[in-house]
Structure 1
Amino acid sequence: MATFTHQDVLTAGLTHWRDLAQGLHARFGTGDFAAGLRFVEAVGQAAEEAGHHPDVTLTYPHVDIALISHDVGAITERDIDLARQISAIATEHDIPAQPEALAQVELALDTADPSRLGPFWAALLRGDTEAFQDGDVVGDARVPLLWFQETDAHETPRQRFHLDVWIPAELAQERIAAAVAAGGTVVDDEAAPAFTVLADAEGNRACVCTTER
């Protein structure tokens, strides 16, 4: 099954949706719980008819929806088609999209031996060592994905955990500027726009990531 790149997603013209670390994401501002519930019911019916089911989070002021083809671990035509249907439903319900509010957080841990640490973190975060798959502790609605950044073995104390904050590509520079204005510094932007390393005032690091290359 063909998978979609970041450029493919842009070409598809999904104005309500952004591709982040794992699939397509959208937030719809429902304003109240009842409107959100009606919207989710309509999305659920469309998903059943399509035989393809998104992850949906209903809260008081908004609904978050994520789409990915889990069988290939990527965005496919099924996701693009259902995203368009969901956007049409939102328009019918007079519910605006809020792409400027989107973000996805992943945890990253530096280690020279992911296979030794992975089962521990899977058991701790997910309650099951089977959640350690293909070098990651897979996330769910409760916890973010944890991936292991392989490094050389070292004994010197250093920061081992950092956050990857995935932002829609067009908002990355604005987010970086806001973090710098709030006391942070840019440590490394050589790989931008794919990722930019920031640090807080005490040197704790995080990456602002996008799917743009």
Structure 2
Amino acid sequence: MDVLTVQAIQDAGLADWSKLSTALHARYLVGSLAEGLGFAQAVAEVSAGHDPEVRATSTFVDLKLTTPGAVDSDGDVRTTVTQLDVDVARSISELAAARGLKADLDGIFLVELGLDTHDADEIGPFWAALLTGDAANYKNHLEVVDPTGRAPDLWFQKTSEHETPRQRFHYDLWMPIAQAPARIEAAVAAGGTITFAEYESFTVLTDAQGNNACICTIQGR
């Protein structure tokens, strides 16, 4: 299936869901583990074989939807959001509403790690083996992806060759577009500084000792 543009996803009107990086994410609040597991089972029944990734707890259920083998406008094949994901997300939202479950938009976020390097291929297999146990999980000369979802995704940011700087790792925190400004405001109030905000898609925040982190959204991508 074809990859959906950011605008198409926003136009779909999925009030409970947000696209973070490559997938649609939602969180619904539940009153017990039994209720969470019951909701997860009902989700499996309405997903028509396109089962989301589900994490059920005693207070919330997290869901993630994506399509492997999606084709983008350049003809490249990758894992991301298609119309199938949007359709399943809409069905899950209807299911949640019928059960009286509230969506928690503030609970939707995704943490990735970024590592500056002039040669990702030189170190990528090492980090894949370290984080996932298999060097083959270094993908596309760009990133390490744990197929079990236990380790955060690690991507490599291209730099020129240089002496080791003080900071090479940084956090990327993916958030829904509407929730990102409040998180940025909270970080600044806690002693951070906005050091780069020229693009809609990410804002660089720096702590009092010069360490950087990015808050990312799909806006403008």
Alpha-carbon deviation of 1:190? 1.0
Partner amino acid for 1:155? E
Does 2:13 correspond to 1:13?
Answer: yes
1:34-74, CA deviations, whole angstroms, 9 ceiling, x for partnerless residues? 11011001001122xx2212110111100000000022211
Q: What percentage of aligned pairs have identical amino acids? A: 47
Residue from 207, 211, 214 that aligns with 1:207 = 214
Number of matched residues? 210
Give the drift of 1:170: 1.1
Whether 1:187 aligns to 2:185 is no
Match of 1:60 in 2: 58
TM-score using structure 1 length: 0.96
Secondary structure of 1:170's counterpart equals coil
Q: Distance in 2 between matches of 1:203 and 1:99?
A: 30
**Counterpart of 2:9 in structure 1: which amino acid?**
V
CA distance in 2, matches of 1:30, 1:60: 7
Partners of 2:20 and 2:121 in 1: CA distance: 26
5+ residue gaps, structure 2, are: 71-78
Within a 5 Å distance, the mapping from 1:20-169 to structure 2 comes to 20-47=20-47, 50-72=48-70, 73-134=79-140, 135-139=142-146, 140-169=148-177
Structure with a larger share of its residues in strand: 2
Q: CA deviation at 1:156?
A: 4.5
C-alpha deviation, 1:22, in angstroms:
2.1
Displacement over 2 Å in runs of 4+? none
The equivalent of 1:170 in structure 2 is 178
- 3-state SS of paired residue (2:129): helix
- SS of residue matched to 1:34: helix
Counterparts of 2:61 and 2:135, CA distance in 1: 31
What code does the residue aligned with 1:5 have?
T
